[in-house]
Chains A and B, each alone.
Chain A
Amino acid sequence: MIQLTPGGDPEKHIMTSDKNIEVANISEDGQIIKFTVESTAVITHDEHDKIVLEKGTYYKTNQMEFNPFTNTVSYIFD
């Protein structure tokens, strides 16, 4: 089981698979990861419908937003 949003609620964006999923951190904050699905992986969330991923290599990130008062860009977390 992998929590795709580190530090987030334990019922949100949870990925499970019947085979091991190889995960590598791409960003220091852990919000961008690379993972390889060998068979099928399912991402569940208590409020959103699930997503099912087939075999392949994937990258997870979060949507971004601009802050016009600081001219910075940051992740969105729901």
Chain B
Amino acid sequence: MRQYRIENISMSEEVGMKVWKTQYKEYDNFYNDVIAPKKPHPEVVQFAADVKAKWDETVPATVNEAFSETNLEVRRLLFKAIGVEELFAKLEPELIHEKTLVKHGTRWDEKNKPFKYQINDKYMLYKIKGDKLFPDEPMEWRRANADIYAVRCWCSTTGREYWIYVPRNIGETGDALAAIAWTVQLPITNPECIYRQGDVIVAKASEASRPIVNSRRPGLTKEEYINLLVAAT
């Protein structure tokens, strides 16, 4: 039987197809992310054709299917492929903290003149215990290390809901604002202020700003996020 490797984990063709279908939904998404970056060797072209031939008949994995997967590494891949929104919607996560950031912000009229408005952004921090994700993991410390956290938020313009995973040490602060602040990792120190348009962050440099050359940039603290944010659209 044909075997596929995903993230260095070997699995049957059937399971590999399920992981990809769950993650990419449409074949074009799979092609653009997995196939397009590779050189078009004949083996790659054949591989793409094989996957395409089976794409429509492959059914995406459900959360329950992921739980029934006995290989922990494959289960991890399935959880990743299912995505944060569905995982947290199905698993009845524990609400750790909820906070609405209320402060004066700026928006602009049709002539680009600024006007004041009230930022009113709600953030909710949730946790899924590792026990729930990997109940058959025999090592207690590994189950505890598998706790996952996500912050739930809404776009202030579209109202669309987003779930963003945050690291365990951030989740363990138990603070929803600390969690959203971590998602903002600037390439400079001492910014004067920050603007957010959806997922794009723009930081205005101050005279004291210096580049952060280390590739591991720290996330903002809760206080920095609250004080620096002047517009969120």
Report which A residues bind B (CB closer than 8 A): 4-5, 12-13, 26-27, 32, 34, 40, 42-43, 45, 47-53, 56-70, 73, 75-78
- Comparing B48-56, B89-97, B135-143, B182-190, the segment that makes contact with chain A is B182-190
| CB-based contact A62/B199 at 8 Å | yes
Known: A42-B112, A61-B186. 15 other contacts (CB 8 A): A43-B197, A45-B198, A50-B112, A53-B195, A59-B186, A59-B187, A64-B185, A64-B219, A68-B165, A68-B168, A69-B80, A73-B185, A76-B183, A76-B199, A78-B199
| CB-based contact B205/A62 at 8 Å | no
Return the CB mask of B174-209 against A: 1 if under 8 Å, else 0: 000000001111111001100111111111110001
Contacts of B107 in A (CB 8 A): 49
| CB-based contact B205/A4 at 8 Å | no
| CB-based contact B108/A57 at 8 Å | no
Give B175 Cβ to nearest chain A Cβ, in Å.
16
Complex partner residue of B195 from A40, A51, A57, A77, CB under 8 angstroms: A51
B64 contacts chain A at the CB level, 8 A cutoff: no
Q: Could you name 7 residue pairs across A and B whose Cβ atoms are closer than 8 Å?
A: A42-B112, A45-B233, A48-B157, A50-B233, A58-B203, A63-B199, A65-B166
| CB-based contact A32/B187 at 8 Å | yes
Q: How far apart sit A58 and B202, CA to CA, in the bound complex (Å)?
A: 7
- B: number of interface residues (CB 8 Å): 46
Interface core residue of A48, A67, A76 (most chain B CB under 10 Å):
A48
Q: How far apart sit A56 and B157, CA to CA, in the bound complex (Å)?
A: 26
Contacts of A63 in B (CB 8 A): 164, 183-184, 196, 199-201
Chain B residue at minimum C-beta to C-beta distance from A47: B158
Give A2 Cβ to nearest chain B Cβ, in Å.
12
| CB-based contact B204/A48 at 8 Å | no
B211 contacts chain A at the CB level, 8 A cutoff: yes
Contacts of B183 in A (CB 8 A): 63-65, 76
Q: How far apart sit A65 and B199, CA to CA, in the bound complex (Å)?
A: 11
Complex partner residue of A13 from B146, B149, B198, B231, CB under 8 angstroms: B198
Give A45 Cβ to nearest chain B Cβ, in Å.
6
| CB-based contact A50/B108 at 8 Å | yes
Give B59 Cβ to nearest chain A Cβ, in Å.
21
Return the CB mask of B152-175 against A: 1 if under 8 Å, else 0: 000101100000111110100000
Give B201 Cβ to nearest chain A Cβ, in Å.
5
B79 contacts chain A at the CB level, 8 A cutoff: yes
